[in-house]
Amino acid sequence: MDELVAAVEAAPVYGFDTEFHRERSYFPHLALVQLVWPGGVALVDPYQVDLTGLRRVLEGPGLAVAHAAEQDLEVLELACGAKPQRLFDTQLAAGFLGLSAPSLTTLVEHLLGERLAKGDRLTDWTRRPLSADQRQYAASDAAHLLDLHRALVTELDRLGRLSWAEGECHIMLSRPSRRAAPDEAWWRLKEARQLRGRSRGVAQTVGAWRERRAAATDRPARFILPDLAVVAIAQRPPTTADELAGVRGLDSRRAKGAAEAGLLDAVRAGLELNDGVLRQPPGEQIERRLRPVATLAGAWLAQRAAELRIDGPLLATRADLHALLRGGGGSRLASGWRRTLVGEPLRQLLAGEGALAVGSRGELVLEARSHRPVAPEADG
Q: Residue 261: how many CB atoms within 10 A of its CB?
A: 12
Cα(268)–Cα(59) distance, rounded to whole angstroms? 46
CATH classification for the domain delimited by 182-271, as one of 1.10.150.80, 3.60.110.10, 3.40.30.10, 3.40.50.800: 1.10.150.80
**209-228 pLDDT, tens per residue?**
999 999 999 999 999 999 99
Q: Which CATH architecture has domain 2-174?
A: 2-Layer Sandwich (3.30)
Render pLDDT for 21-60 as a digit per residue (tens, 0 to 9): 999 999 999 999 999 999 899 999 999 999 999 999 999 9
- Amino acid letter, residue 179: R
Mean pLDDT, residues 6-31 taken together: 96
In angstroms, rounded to a whole number, what is the distance separating the alpha carbons of residues 80 and 55?
6
Whether pLDDT at 328 is above 90: no
Q: The pTM is what?
A: 0.89
Please report, for residues 14, 165, 269, the alpha-carbon distance to residue 250 in angstroms, rounded to integers and kept in the order given.
48, 46, 20
Q: pLDDT tens digit string along 149-201?
A: 999 999 999 999 999 999 999 999 998 776 779 999 999 999 998 999 999 99
Kindly give, in sequence order, each residue whose CB lies less than 8 Å from that of residue 300, ignoring residues fewer than 6 positions away. 356, 364, 366
Return the ∠ at Cα 24 (arms to 18 and 27), rounded to 5°. 55
* Cβ–Cβ under 8 Å, residues 233 and 214: no
> Does the pLDDT value for residue 120 go beyond 70?
no
Q: What pLDDT score does 282 carry? A: 76
Given this model, what pLDDT does residue 160 score? 97
Confidence of residue 317 (pLDDT cuts 50, 70, 90): very high
Q: Which secondary structure element, helix H or strand E, spans residue 17, and what is its range? A: strand 13-21
Please give the pLDDT value at position 289: 87
The CATH number assigned to the domain with range 288-368 reads: 1.10.150.80
- Residue 118, amino acid: K
Q: What is the mean pLDDT of the chain?
A: 92
Per-residue pLDDT of 237-284, as tens digits, reads: 999 999 998 998 887 666 677 789 999 999 999 999 998 999 988 765
The beta-carbon contacts of 149-152 under 8 Å, at least 24 apart in sequence, are 149/13, 149/15, 149/63, 149/65, 149/88, 149/90, 151/111, 151/112, 152/88, 152/90, 152/93, 152/94, 152/97, 152/111
- Maximum alpha-carbon separation in the chain: 84
Domain boundaries of the chain, sorted by first residue: 2-174, 182-271, 288-368
Closest CA to 153 of 171, 169, 131, 136: 169
Determine the Cα–Cα distance for residues 281 and 244; give it in Å rounded to an integer: 26
Measure the CA–CA gap between 201 and 184, rounded to whole angstroms.
Answer: 11
Residues 76-94 have a mean pLDDT of 96
* pLDDT given at position 284: 55
Q: Which of 58-62, 76-80, 119-123, 376-380 has the lowest mean pLDDT?
A: 376-380
Which helix (H) or strand (E) is 92 found in, with range?
helix 90-94
Report the length, in residues, of the chain.
Answer: 380
Angle at alpha carbon of residue 231, lines to 227 and 234, rounded to 5°: 140
Res 327: pLDDT: 84
CA distance 156 to 159: 5
Task: Check if 2-174 and 182-271 are the same fold.
Answer: no
Coil vs helix vs strand at 288? helix
> Over 70: is that where the pLDDT of 377 sits?
no
Encode 267-303: b = buried (16+ Cβ within 10 Å), e = exposed.
bebbeebeeeeebeeeeeebeeeeeebbeebeebbee
Q: How confident is the model at residue 119 (pLDDT cuts 50, 70, 90)?
A: low
